[in-house]
Amino acid sequence: MFVIMSGRVKVVIFGESGREVTLSLLRSGDSFGEMSLFDQAPRSAHCLAIEPTTLLVLSREDLLRHMQTHARTAMNLLGEMARRLRRADETIAQLALCDVNERLIHRLVGLAREEGASGPDGLVVRRRPTQQELANMIGSCRETISRAFNQLARDGLIIPRGRSLVVTPALIERAEKKKAA
């Protein structure tokens, strides 16, 4: 199991054609690799550092020994795995039930909530993902994301600013209404 001490890591799967789907973005304090420690099956995804990253590595034996004497660690790991399973369920539902525009809106709002800082116009995501990265996150292609992204910008729901992106309260409200419906 790996714990990110500093840096960022993306969790991806690759299709036979080489197409990449980003499952999640992890940052300092997050962990990965625990599923294989428990079921001893091969890794289900690839983890790629997207900036200089320092990791703490825990062997299966060390983690199991620690969990035997620290039940709280086991409960925390189970809680994290449950959260990831819920996110996976949400992603599956979005892929099956939502069009690309809705998936893009949900992902942008999710990024703003996870990484955004409050600004006068909304939540500011300091490192705006590229359109290809967004496409990889929501299971689409760059061209489709480009059209949808540009329309959101024209509608004033997002504000690209250099390398950053402002997600407006109007977009967040729109996403919440869709989710409640």
pLDDT tens across the length of the chain (181 residues): 999 999 999 999 998 888 888 888 999 999 999 888 888 888 889 999 999 999 999 999 999 999 999 999 999 999 999 998 998 888 888 888 889 999 999 999 999 998 889 999 999 999 999 999 999 999 899 999 999 999 999 999 999 999 999 999 999 999 888 776 6
Residue type, 157: L
CA-based radius of gyration for the chain: 18
pTM given for the model: 0.76
H or E element, residue 112: helix 100-115
Query: What pLDDT sits at residue 52?
Result: 97
Q: Could you give the CA distance from residue 61 to residue 58 in angstroms, rounded to a whole number? A: 8
Query: What pLDDT sits at residue 181?
Result: 66
Cβ–Cβ < 8 Å for 5, 54: yes
Closest CA to 24 of 132, 96, 110: 110
Residue 78 makes CB contacts below 8 A (sequence gap 6+) with: none
Cβ–Cβ < 8 Å for 125, 171: no
Q: How many CB atoms lie within 10 A of CB 136?
A: 21
Query: What pLDDT sits at residue 97?
Result: 87
Burial class for 3, CB neighbours closer than 10 Å (0-12, 13-18, 19+): middle
Closest CA to 35 of 53, 27, 23: 23
